[in-house]
């Protein structure tokens, strides 16, 4: 089995598992892409897709943290100061 076929089958399996768990096709694509990026880390050169995926994940984490901070325990909609 050549490298392209191996990566294609791996992507499809990862997508199938992620979709079965989440029932969210967009999240399944992200998870399967992440699996491929991990497998492709044998390259020494920076991969533009790796950098893009990493930036997307960081942006999503920032959005999630911001949403969590919008409401405090009393539901007033104010952010808690640390």
| 12-35 confidence digits (pLDDT tens) | 999 999 999 999 999 999 999 988
pLDDT, tens digit, 9 for 90 and up, residues 44-56:
566 677 677 777 7
Instruction: Give the whole-angstrom CA distance, residue 15 versus residue 18.
Output: 5
Question: Does pLDDT of 73 surpass 60?
Answer: no
Residue 41 phi/psi, 5° resolution?
-75, 5
Domain boundaries, the chain: 1-41
């Amino acid at each position: 089995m050549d490298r392209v076929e191996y990566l294609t089958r791996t992507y499809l399996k990862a997508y199938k598992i992620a979709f079965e768990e989440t029932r969210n096709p967009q999240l399944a694509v992200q998870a399967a892409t992440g699996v491929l990026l991990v497998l492709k880390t044998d390259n020494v050169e920076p991969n533009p897709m790796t950098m893009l995926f990493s930036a997307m994940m960081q942006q999503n984490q920032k959005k999630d943290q911001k949403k969590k901070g919008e409401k405090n325990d009393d539901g007033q909609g104010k952010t808690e100061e640390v």
